[in-house]
Amino acid sequence: MAVQMQGVRRKTIAATAAGLMLTTAGCYRDTGGTTGTATPDAAQQQQELVITTPPGKGQVDRITWALYRGTTSIDPITAGDYPEITVTSLMCEALFRQSPDGTVEPGLATKLDYPDPKTAVLTLREGVTFWDGSPMTSADVAFSIERNIDPKQGGYWGPVVDRIASVKATGPLEVTLELKEPDYWLRNVLSYMPGIVVSKRYVEAKGKDYGTVKGGAMCTGSYKFGQWRTGDVLSVVRNDAYWNSSVKPLVRQIDFKGIPDEATLTAALVTGEVDGGYMELPLSTLDQVRASGTVNIHRGPSYLIDAMIIADMGRGVLSDARVRRALSMAIDREGYIRTLYKGTAQPARALGTPATWGYERETFQRAWDALPETKVDLEAARKLVQEAGATGKTVRFGFSNELNKLVTEANLVRSAAEKIGLKAELKAVSADAYSGFFLDPKARADVDAFFTTNYPNWADPAALYASLSVPGGPQDYGSYRNKKTADLLEKVRGTEDPAKRAEATVEAQALLAEDLPWIPVVAPDTVLVLNKKLTGATVSSHHLFAPWADQLGAVG
């Protein structure tokens, strides 16, 4: 599932037996230096991608970390966009944990068993404590899961836990989930925000203030909530009483600062005012930042997909699949990568890109190879537009003129539309207002399409596909209705056999590639910009799902 980047989305990675990321995007390695090579052409185009930087060696008192905007909530049930998730994942822990290579391992729970297809039993880890020293109990775990299910809480993640009928603490270290239908996504779902455990006592005391500037948070992680000023820096501090004594973070305090302006961010990175950040929005000044000599730029695998969402599949010029396909064929993806991403992305044939193939890789590779290539074909695109009777008709794209990424992409797509006989208009809104396209049907009614940087929340394309294809899903923005696609993805969720899940997923993928409710554009890499004095941060989508700075520290 995913969300917009508050203008680019709210809101996983493939691993081999050796624990490495291997995709057609290039060559991935761990810090041990073991490598795996993808296709020769891709390898020639890409420098080596990494999933981690070498662990830090020295203590650091305080650093500043950039986010593309300020944080609005650290309550996991409402944390859905990059700033909120990056901060919350550093402080709070889930029942299962995603590793830098995308594999899912035990976390606050040691296992999840299915005594029968409609019953799931969690076994909890002993000795876990919250920041205030109180023990984590099965009651805390049941309460945390229930908050996601209860619609009165206003949480975001209800659709991914909607097969849970009841949650009960059935022992000191046991929680039992009764299911409405079989759900073999549960372990993965409980490895990110819906699986984060909070203190029942603390949350009940804070009420609606929990997760806000006023109410703070209470979790179990290696970093704890420090200070937060409205509209300003949010600070986290090292938890020296962390229950896992094998983890000893080197950085005492991390100050998270929202910097939406690209010029300001560039200057802050070059001067050292900001020590690091994940570039969720592509930085067009990346070459300038690299040349400064102040930072290292690390690239790694990512679940991300840069795509265009059709605002309403039932109206407008883009309601015709032939026009959608024509527009996709006209987009100059290679030029977009050069101009905006500075080489840190690859053209995307599907929404579920190679870094999300966490199982049955051969099945996904065959399906990917069978999809149409992404080369520009204006002649064929014009023909499709003519066949649809759409020549000369107007299509309107929503974007924010305050975010360089959206400005660049909107102009790219407008140019593509005009080259194939369509008229194109751009509707500009503020960065804050851009989230309305994701949250408000009335805002979407004013445009034909808008843009997203999206991802599944674990290493499975079906997690993203279901979010936009199943009616009522968390990303059912354009009312895409193809019963076969939805039925296939519901089947995937209820199927235990991974091979059968993959087969159904690629069948759904083929339908999505034909229908194009979202048009995939490019697959960005994870881009970490880090001051040369620092090392130890992960370089993958891991930073959205698990503590990513436990090994961050001074180089020497």
Q: Where are the alpha helices (DSSP H) in 214-345?
A: 262-271, 286-291, 321-330, 333-336
Of 467, 488, 487, 489, the residue nearest 478 (C-alpha): 467
What are the DSSP E strand ranges found in 144-250? 164-171, 174-179, 223-228, 234-238
Question: 179 falls in which pLDDT band (50, 70, 90)?
Answer: very high
Q: pLDDT at position 367, please?
A: 97
7 assigned to some structural domain:
no
Higher per-residue pLDDT: 442 or 474: 442
Give me the phi and psi of 415, to 5 degrees please.
-60, -45
Task: Out of 177, 197, 217, pick the residue that ends a domain.
Answer: 197
Are 539 and 52 in contact by the 8 Å Cβ rule? The answer is yes
CATH of the domain at 468: 3.10.105.10
Range of the domain at 396: 305-524
User: Whose CA is closest to 552, among 59, 8, 168, 71?
Assistant: 59
- Are 498 and 401 within one domain? yes
Residue 167 maps to a domain: yes
pLDDT band at 185 (very low <50, low <70, confident <90, very high): very high
Query: What are the tokens at 351?
Result: 């929404």
Give the pLDDT score at 36: 31
Q: How far is CA 435 from CA 3, 308, 430, in A?
A: 10, 14, 9
Q: List, in order, residues 6 or more apart from 442 with CB less than 8 Å away.
A: none
Query: Is residue 298 pLDDT above 50, yes or no?
Result: yes
Look at residue 458 and tell me whether its pLDDT is greater than 60.
yes
Apex 83 CA angle, 78 and 84, nearest 5: 25
Residues 413 and 454 occupy one common structural domain: yes
Q: Where are the alpha helices (DSSP H) in 96-206?
A: 138-149, 186-189, 200-206
Return d(Cα 96, Cα 110) in angstroms, integer.
Answer: 8
The beta strand positions in 49-163, using DSSP E, are 49-50, 60-67, 96-98, 104-106, 109-116, 119-124
What pairs with residue 169 in β-bridges?
175
pLDDT tens digits along 194-226? 999 999 999 999 999 999 999 999 999 999 999
Asked if residue 50 belongs to a domain, the reply is no
The pLDDT assigned to 237 comes to: 98
- Do 420 and 479 lie in a common domain? yes
Please tell me whether residues 450 and 484 are part of one structural domain.
yes
Q: Are 364 and 503 in contact (CB under 8 A)?
A: no
Mean per-residue pLDDT, 386-408:
95
Q: Stretch 306-319: mean pLDDT, rounded?
A: 97
Our CA angle for 445, 450, 453, nearest 5°, is 140
Please compute the mean of the pLDDT values over residues 410-434 and round it to a whole number: 96
Is the domain of 330 the same as that of 295?
Answer: no
* Shared domain check, 292 and 320: no
**Per-residue pLDDT tens over the stretch 90-127:** 999 999 999 998 889 999 999 999 999 999 999 999 99
Give the pairing type, strands 174-179 and 119-124: antiparallel
Instruction: Assess if residue 85 is contained within a domain.
Output: no
pLDDT level of residue 1 (50, 70, 90 thresholds): very low
C-alpha 422/C-alpha 350 separation (Å) is 24
pLDDT for res 77: 97
**Computed from CA positions of residues 260, 264, 265, 268, in that sequence, does the dihedral angle turn out positive or negative?**
negative
Domain at 168, CATH number? 3.90.76.10
Q: Does position 17 have pLDDT exceeding 60, yes or no?
A: no
Looking at residue 39, its pLDDT comes to: 33
CATH number for the domain spanning 270: value is: 3.40.190.10
Q: How far apart are CA 202 and CA 224, in angstroms?
A: 14
* Terminal Cα distance for the chain, rounded: 39
Helix (H, G, I), strand (E, B) or coil at 46: coil
Backbone φ/ψ region at 230: left (φ over 0), alpha (ψ -120 to 50), beta? beta
Residue 7 has pLDDT above 60, yes or no: no
Helix (H, G, I), strand (E, B) or coil at 146: helix
Same domain, 182 and 121: yes
**What SS3 string covers 328-374?**
HHHCCHHHHHHHHHCCCEEECCCCCCHHHCCCCHHHHHHHHHHCCCC
Question: Residues 134, 248: one domain?
Answer: no
Same domain, 360 and 505: yes
In a domain, 134, yes or no: yes
The whole-angstrom separation of Cα 460 and Cα 14 is: 8
Percent of the chain with pLDDT over 70: 92
Answer yes or no: is 236 within a domain.
Answer: yes
- Establish if 102 belongs to a structural domain: yes
The total of other beta-carbon atoms located within 10 Å of residue 474's CB is 21
Token pair belonging to 387: 């066949």
Q: Are residues 501 and 385 in the same domain?
A: yes
Instruction: For 61-96, write each residue's pLDDT tens digit.
Output: 999 999 988 999 999 999 988 999 999 999 999 999
Mean pLDDT over 257-274 rounds to: 95
**pTM metric for this prediction:** 0.86
pLDDT at 47: 56
202-207: long-range contacts at Cβ-Cβ below 8 A with a sequence spacing of 24 or more? 202/130, 202/132, 203/143, 203/147
477-495 residue pLDDT tens: 999 999 999 999 999 999 9
**DSSP H/E element including 436:** helix 436-439
Looking at the structure of the chain, the number of domains it has is 3
The token duo for 38 is 């993808």
Asked if the structure places residue 340 within a domain, the reply is yes
Q: Based on the fold, state whether residues 382 and 262 are members of the same structural domain.
A: no
374 and 467 fall within a common domain: yes
